[in-house]
Homo-oligomer: A and B are copies of this chain.
Amino acid sequence: MVELDFEKSGGLIPAVAQDWQTGEVLMLAYISPESWEETLRSGYATYFSRSRNQLWKKGESSGHLQKIHSILVDCDLDSVIFKIEQLGPGACHTGHRSCFYREVTGDGLQETAAAVFDAGKVYQVKK
Q: Which residues of chain A have a CB within 8 Å of any CB of chain B?
A: 1-2, 8, 14, 16, 18, 22-25, 27-28, 40, 50, 70-76, 79, 81, 92-94, 96, 99-104, 107-109, 112
Contacts and interface: CB of A to CB of B under 8 A. Distances in A.
Contacts of A93: 75
A18 B96 CA distance: 20
30 contacts: A1-B107, A2-B104, A2-B107, A2-B109, A16-B25, A18-B25, A22-B23, A23-B23, A23-B24, A25-B25, A25-B72, A25-B81, A28-B74, A70-B103, A70-B104, A71-B103, A72-B100, A72-B101, A72-B102, A72-B104, A73-B102, A73-B103, A73-B104, A73-B109, A74-B100, A75-B92, A75-B93, A75-B96, A76-B99, A81-B100
Nearest to A75: B99
Nearest to A29: B79
A1 B24 CA distance: 26
A118 to B, nearest CB: 16
A1 B109 CA distance: 10
Contacts of A1: 107
Nearest to A1: B107
